Structure 1
Amino acid sequence: MTLLILPLMESVADVADAEGGAGEWFARHDQQLVSFVLSFVIIAMFWISHHRLFAKVERVTVPLLCISMAWLLTIVWLPVATAMSGRFSDGDAVVKAVYVGSMIATCLVTLATRLYLARNPELHAISGTELRGGTAVDIAMASLFAAALVLAVTVPGVGYFALFLMFLVGPVQNLVARRLGVPRRA
């Protein structure tokens, strides 16, 4: 996550070299700062989810390690996508696709991890209900990120505000969980 800050660090040096002040820096890099904070929160969310999942994994196989490396690749890529979203035009559909698509990829790799673990119960101490519940979260998140991507790219003026759809993760997760037969929490 520390890589997220590097583009901002460079921009501080650029403004300082041009004998600008902190106020100028904040004014010139407000979009970059918003991208940084949003991405920090999203990456933290992905890390916490990954940590919780692997807290009950007792053994790692080569395929599980490969899936985990794919997940890590998506996480390491996010600062690049964040830098692009903070530096390129808000109207650039490719940048939006790269940024939101990166988060879809992370969700899908997490889903692949859960599916692999569901097929290999000897590797972990996660109940089937927990795995199905996590699967519901992964599907909900991937679906909402995909909807946000479509909105961001196709509806003028919406842009990254489409990511506010992520506030619907809970209700969408509940719908998916019902379809997967996950019992309701008390």
Structure 2
Amino acid sequence: MSEDVVRDPGFRGLSAERTKAFVDAVVAIAMTLLILPLMEGVTESAGHDHTTWEWLVDQREQLQSFVISFVLIAMFWMLHHRLFVAVQRMTAALTWITIGWMLTIVWMPVVTALTGQVDDDPLQKILYIGTLVATSAVLLITRIHLARHPDLHDASRADLRAGMSIDVSMIVLFGVALAVGLLWPAVGYAGLFVMFLTGPVQSVVVRILR
């Protein structure tokens, strides 16, 4: 996007449909890229005449990382999709916020490959779970921006507030998962199971927002 477009007041009137289609395409590509390390593992196993069971055992950590990241990206996409159903017009600011959100999604295949192929270390957990925090944080920023610009959408304030409570809950729980992983390395990424507490934490956040 050129600087002239960014400063152009007429940019406010652009339809959001192209942006929605672009986001869907980026998310689909990111989810597809998650499978590449596993494909490389198949080639390596074939070269060593491994059996299917040996491949499964050898790739168990990568398989785990693939499933977790696939589900998380799908979850983030559903949250973003539900929000943007109500968005009708784009501003330069909203477009750049959305690009920032897509950046965190595109980065996910990289950190997923790290968790499956590189020995576990604190920085790895910071990069992986930190990316999840960033994705949730940018989505929260998106909702705040829309709340301040009601002319861009037809979402109710109640819906935006409910979405904010989900975003805040996820940020808090991802932070807890990161702390658990750093304090007790043996736990690994099992700390992400705290995400099952999203409902109770969201209830607390809703009371605070009210």
With the length of structure 2 as denominator, give the TM-score of the two structures.
Answer: 0.84
Superposed displacement of residue 159, structure 1: 1.4
Give the deviation of 1:99 after TM superposition. 0.6
Structural mapping, 1:10-159, within 5 Å: 10-90=40-120, 92-159=121-188
| 1:157 counterpart SS class | helix
Matching residue's letter, 2:42: V
Structure 2 regions of 5+ residues with no counterpart?
1-30
> Stretches of 4+ moved more than 2 A in 1?
none
% identical equivalent positions: 51
Report the Cα offset of residue 158 of structure 1. Answer: 1.4
Task: Supply the distance in 1 between the matched residues of 2:62 and 2:127 (Cα, whole angstroms).
Answer: 16
Q: Which moved more, 1:18-27 or 1:134-143?
A: 18-27
Which residue identity lines up with residue 110 of structure 1 in the other structure?
Answer: L
State the AA in 2 paired with 1:128.
R
- More moved, 17-26 vs 77-86: 17-26
- Report the 3-state secondary structure (helix = DSSP H, G, I; strand = E; otherwise coil) of the residue aligned with 1:161: helix
Please give the secondary structure, in 1, of the residue aligned with 2:154.
coil
Give the aligned residue type for 2:118.
F
Give distance in 2, aligned partners of 1:168 and 1:157: 21
Query: Which residue does 1:184 correspond to in 2?
Result: none
Q: RMSD of the alignment, in Å?
A: 0.8
Partner of 2:206: 177
Aligned residue identity for 1:144: L
Q: Give 1:156 shift.
A: 3.5
5+ unaligned residues in a row in structure 1: which ranges? 182-186
Work out the CA distance in 1 between the residues paired with 2:115 and 2:123: 10
Moved more, 107-116 or 153-162: 153-162
The separation in 2 between residues aligned to 1:17 and 1:116, in whole angstroms, is 52
